[in-house]
Amino acid sequence: MNQYGSAGHRPPAYPTQSWYVAATSDEVTSSPLGRRALDTGLVLFRTSDGAAVALEDRDAHSAYPLSLGRVEQDLIVSSYSGFAYAADGSCVRVPTQTEIPYDARVRCFPVREQDGLVWVWFAEPGLAGLRKPPSVPWLVDDAWSTVGRAWTTEASFMLLHENFADITHVAVVDPSFAPPVLSAGPVPLLEVEVTETAVSFGRNYPPAPLAAWHSALLGTEPDAVFAQREVGRFVTPGLWIDSWEVDLDDGSTATFRFTHAVTPVNATSTRHVWRVSRNFAPGEETSAQLTPLFTDYYERVRSILETMQGVLSLDGPRPDVHVAADAAAVQVRKIVNRMVADEQLGGTR
C-alpha cells in the first residue's frame, strides 16, 4: 500500500502511515511556506477560510517550487509558469491558453490542524480517515504555560526517540540541569507498558532534592526533598511526550510536560518541534527564564545526536550493547521496525 513511499529503491527509513507535524500553526499563513518532510517537498499555506493546505512543492509544468510563488484568491500560483492550483492540487488556470491541460495537478496531502500543530498525512490519502493525529491539548490550555522552539537535527528520527526513551543520560550530559535524583545511585524500577502501537514507561523516585533552578522556580528551600515521578510515552513515530512530576508539600503536583513532535526530513535529518509546558509558575517572565535553559539543554542533545549520526553514516550501524534501562527504547524500535517492514511492498517481515 506504499505507492508513495520514499524516493528511489532505498529501504525506507521511517514509517509513512502516521500523522507527522509539518509546521506549527503560526508558521502557516497566506504566504506560501516551503518545507521538506519524508523526502518530499511541501508547500503549506492558508486559504481565506483559514484552512491549512499542504501540496507538493513542485509545479507540474516544470521543476520549480510553488513555495516561491504566491497565493492569490485561494490559488497558489507558480512564479515561473504562472500555472495556478486550487487547494485540492488541481490546476485551474494556465496563462498561455484557455484549455487546462488534462488532469494537470500537484499532489495534495490530507491535513489536520489541532492544538497549534499542522499534521500532514504522507501515505495513501484514503487511509488518513482511518487514523487520527494524537491530541496534545495542554499546548493550548490556559492552565499550562508553554515554551519551546523548533529546528532541524541532522540525525535519524529514531535517534531522537531513543534519546527521549531513556532519560538517565540527562545526568551525564548536563549534571547541573538534571534532577539530582538521577545521579543519586541505583535508578528505581522502570515500568514499561506496551500496546501494538505505543510504549509508555514510568519510574517513581524516592524523596530527593530538586535542581537549583527547579527549586528556585517553585520557591522551595534548596535542600528540601520531594517525591518525584517520571512518565514517558512513545505515542506515534511522529510524537513523544513525557512528564516530570514533583509532589509538593501542599498535596499538589508541579508538572513539567515535554512534547516532542519529530518529523523525518529524510533518513538522517529530522524536524524537531519541542515544547516544555508547566502547570505552575505561570507568566511571561518565568517563561523568558526557562527558554534559554531548555534551549541550551536541547542544543546539547542535538549536537550529541548529530555526532552520533556522523559515526553511523561513516562506519555503519553495529549492534549496540543494551542495558535494562533501554527496555522502553527496545520496545519502540520493535514497533517502528515492524511498521517500516509492513509498509514495504510485498513485505519482508
Partner 1 sequence: MTVTQTVVREFEVDLVVRETEQVAHDVVAMTLSSPDGTALPDWTPGAHIDLLLGDGLTRQYSLCGRTSETDAWRVAVLKAPDSRGGSTAVHDLGTGATVRVRGPRNHFPVVAAKRYLFVAGGIGITPLLAMIYEVEAAGAEWELHYGGRTRKSMAFLDELEQFGDRVHVVPEDELGRPDLDAILGEPRPDTLVYTCGPEPLLAAVEQRCAAWPPGSLHLERFSARKSDEPTQDSSFELVLQRSGKTLQVPADRTVFEVVREAGVSVLGSCLEGICGTCETEVVDGDVDHRDSILDDEERASNEVMMICVSRCTSPCLTLDL
Q: Which residues bind partner 1 (CB under 8 A)?
A: 1-2, 124, 126-127, 129-132, 185-198, 236, 319, 322-327, 330-331, 338, 341-349
Residue 209 carries which DSSP code? P
Q: Calculate the CA 100 to chain-centre distance.
A: 39
When the beta carbons of 18 and 145 are compared against partner 1, the nearer one is: 18
3-state secondary structure of 241: strand
Residue 220 carries which DSSP code? -
CB of 332 to partner 1, least distance (A): 12
When the beta carbons of 283 and 319 are compared against partner 1, the nearer one is: 319
When the beta carbons of 84 and 128 are compared against partner 1, the nearer one is: 128
* Listed residue (346, 20, 15) closest to 197, CA to CA: 15
CB of 239 to partner 1, least distance (A): 12
Where do we find the cell 549534571? 175
When the beta carbons of 200 and 309 are compared against partner 1, the nearer one is: 200
CB of 185 to partner 1, least distance (A): 7
When the beta carbons of 219 and 346 are compared against partner 1, the nearer one is: 346
Which residues fall within 8 angstroms of residue 201, CB to CB, at 6 or more apart? 165, 190, 191, 192, 193, 231, 232, 233, 327, 328
73 sits in the region (left: phi over 0; alpha: psi -120 to 50; else beta) called: left
When the beta carbons of 197 and 295 are compared against partner 1, the nearer one is: 197
Query: Per DSSP, what are the bridge partners of residue 269?
Result: 266
CB of 343 to partner 1, least distance (A): 5
14 in Cβ contact with 128 (< 8 Å): no
CB of 160 to partner 1, least distance (A): 21
* Residue 232: all three cell numbers together: 514517558
Measured CA to CA in angstroms, residue 320 lies from 189, 201, 269, 271, 323 at distances of: 22, 21, 21, 25, 10
CB of 117 to partner 1, least distance (A): 18
CB of 153 to partner 1, least distance (A): 26
Distance CA 238, CA 264 (A): 8
Q: Calculate the CA 1 to chain-centre distance.
A: 24
When the beta carbons of 190 and 281 are compared against partner 1, the nearer one is: 190
